[in-house]
Amino acid sequence: MSAFGTVLVANRGEIAVRVIRACRDLGLRSVAVYSEADRGALHVRLADAAVEIGPASPSESYLDLERIIGAAQGAGAEAIHPGYGFLSENPRLAEACADAGITFVGPPREAMLAMGDKVRARQRMQQAGVPVVPGTDALSDEAEALEAARKIGFPVMVKASAGGGGLGMRAAHDEGELKAAITSCRESAQRFFGDPRVFLERLVSDPRHIEIQVLADSHGNTIHLGERECSIQRRHQKLVEECPSTAISPETREEMGQAAIKAAQAVGYVNAGTVEFIESSGSFYFLEMNTRLQVEHPVTELVTGIDLVVAQLKVAMGEPLPWRQEQIEWRGWAIECRINAEDPWQDFQPTPGRVTSYHEPSGPGVRVDSSLAGPGDVSPFYDPMVAKLIVHGESREQALARGRRALFEYLIGGITTNIPFHAALLENPDFLAGKLTTEFIANHSELLQRASDWRDQQPQTLKHFSSDARQVAAIAAAIAAT
């Protein structure tokens, strides 16, 4: 690790924009990479330089390790920031950076390997004294799985050994469901991670998904920045996150924080990372560690006042953390809504297409991290998230009020988005009361009807804006075509 002046951002969309802005704050030169589908993307326009790396398909561009390293070398980049997704948790990228003499803005390869395999990670955590959910090692066949499930006790969760992000997870409530769950999880694990191995964990009742942000430097210092509540999910993938959690007391926060620090230190972790826990009835258990920046990092930034991306870059330069644990303070409440191009009324299926009008909310306590700056395309080749709406207030009640106000002002025309669903969620009585579990959306089917009502009540001023914006976009397109 050493000082560097140019950073290649090996990603796209809003996270690439976020990293590029952090580079500019530090006086670093940024280099964007882009596929053919992203030629006119916002991150390409904001960077100091940009390199095209291949076709729209991720496997031929953003996931092509050789093209990423080649782009960095060709642009004179001394460091690579992977963002999240794509190659961010691939130890081969960290290794390739080391071989090329490029600084990897992330953890050591060995730490990624240790936490990348969920079965081995469970074993390491048990050895480190971090509580884990009762479960198994990787399973070889269905008979072994059935015997293990009987010992653990139904219901159980079948998980991919090499995976993360909830991909492929399947619940089994009895022996009849277990076979189908294993088959489905194995197929998903092979498709997403190239590794069909699965394992079992006891399915915790009424669980909340709580994660702890950690920061570690190369000088032996590790701190935690508190918890994020990530229980609002669909298909095991997060939609809303907040900091702090309504379920966590200051005493439990410190207990979980120390467990997260133990987890990070057990694998020699350096840089920003997140230790994820499942919490139920006051008990918590290790789930996994995400060896990268998280999508939901802004809520921690707003509550702690710490710029996590700047911290990542400084740690990668070899600087020690400037904070001690006792200096970390949590002020107010922050909530993040993931704004996705998806249809809540069609099981949240992606809705890529042409954005014909775009108007971001603003005002006190409102932040938008977006890959859009106006009308443009949402590609079918990539994740449907187009923006993150983050609000902050002195209390949860104020943050919720600002969130509702911001959603009221947020307009994305031309495609279906989940903005109405978020609006329905932020006024739901159980959500307002903090009665959250990972099954919240599945157990609140009335949210869809309320989202429909909210959509139909869109304010007339924004409807007029939408009409005007479409006319402006059409005129601009006509001028561009001449």
Question: At which of 105, 121, 143 does a domain end?
Answer: 105
pLDDT recorded at residue 196: 86
Mean pLDDT of 13-18: 98
What is the set of active-site residues? Answer: 292
**pLDDT (tens digit per residue) in 330-364:** 999 999 999 999 999 999 999 999 999 999 999 99
The rounded percent of the chain whose pLDDT value lies above 70 is: 94
| CA atoms of 157 and 15, how far apart (whole Å) | 31
Phi, psi of 231 (to 5 degrees): -80, -20
By mean pLDDT, which of 121-125, 164-168, 365-369, 458-462 is the weakest?
458-462
pLDDT in tens, 24-74: 999 999 999 999 999 999 999 999 999 999 999 999 999 999 999 999 999
Tell me if 270 is assigned to some domain: yes
More confident residue, 87 or 204: 87
Q: Categorize the per-residue pLDDT at 114 as very low, low, confident or very high, splitting at 50, 70 and 90.
A: very high
Residues 365 and 400 in one domain: yes
**CATH number of the domain where residue 67 is located:** 3.40.50.20
Same domain, yes or no, for 24 and 74?
yes
* 209-231 confidence digits (pLDDT tens): 999 999 999 999 999 999 999 99
- Tokens found for residue 135: 């479960």
pLDDT at site 163: 67
Higher-pLDDT residue of 310 and 165 is 310
| Contact between residue 158 and residue 114 where contact means Cβ atoms under 8 Å apart | no
pLDDT at 462: 58
Question: Where do the H-state alpha helices sit in 240-375?
Answer: 250-266, 297-304, 308-316
Strand partners, 227: 212
The whole-number pLDDT of residue 110 equals 96
Report yes or no on 88 lying in a domain: yes
Structural domain total, the chain: 3
State the distance between the two ends of the chain, measured CA to CA, in whole angstroms. Answer: 51
For residue 182, give its domain range: 134-202
- Residue 145 contacts residue 192 (beta carbons within 8 Å): no
The whole-chain average pLDDT of the chain stands at 92
- Mean pLDDT, to the nearest integer, of 253-275? 97
DSSP track, 61-103: TTT-HHHHHHHHHHHT-SEEE--SSTTTT-HHHHHHHHHHT-E
Q: Cis check for the bond before 155: say yes or no (omega within 30 of 0).
A: yes
pLDDT at 84 over 60: yes
Asked whether residue 277 falls in the same domain as residue 399, the answer is yes
pLDDT single digits (tens) 94-104 = 999 999 999 99
Are 32 and 322 within 8 A, CB to CB? no
Give per-residue burial for 140-154: e unless 16+ CB within 10 Å, then b: eeeeebbebbeebee
According to DSSP, the β-strands at 353-355 and 333-340 are unpaired
Give the pLDDT score at 473: 46
Q: Considering the domain boundaries, does residue 126 fall inside one?
A: no
Q: Is the same domain home to 234 and 187?
A: no
**Residue 70, pLDDT score:** 98
Does residue 192 sit in the same domain as residue 232? Answer: no
Q: What pLDDT, on a 0 to 100 scale, did the predictor assign at position 71?
A: 98
Average pLDDT over residues 155-182: 85
Domain boundary residue, one of 165, 187, 202: 202
325, 192: one domain = no
Long-range contacts of 456-465 (CB under 8 A, 24+ apart): 459/408, 462/359, 462/409, 462/411, 465/357, 465/359, 465/411
Q: Note the pLDDT of residue 480.
A: 43
Report the C-alpha gap between 54 and 36 in whole angstroms.
6
pTM: 0.89
Q: Is residue 110 part of a domain?
A: no
pLDDT band, very low/low/confident/very high, at 472 (cuts 50, 70, 90): very low
Q: Are residues 195 and 220 in the same domain?
A: no
Q: What is the mean pLDDT of residues 396-415?
A: 97
CATH number of 322's domain: 3.30.470.20
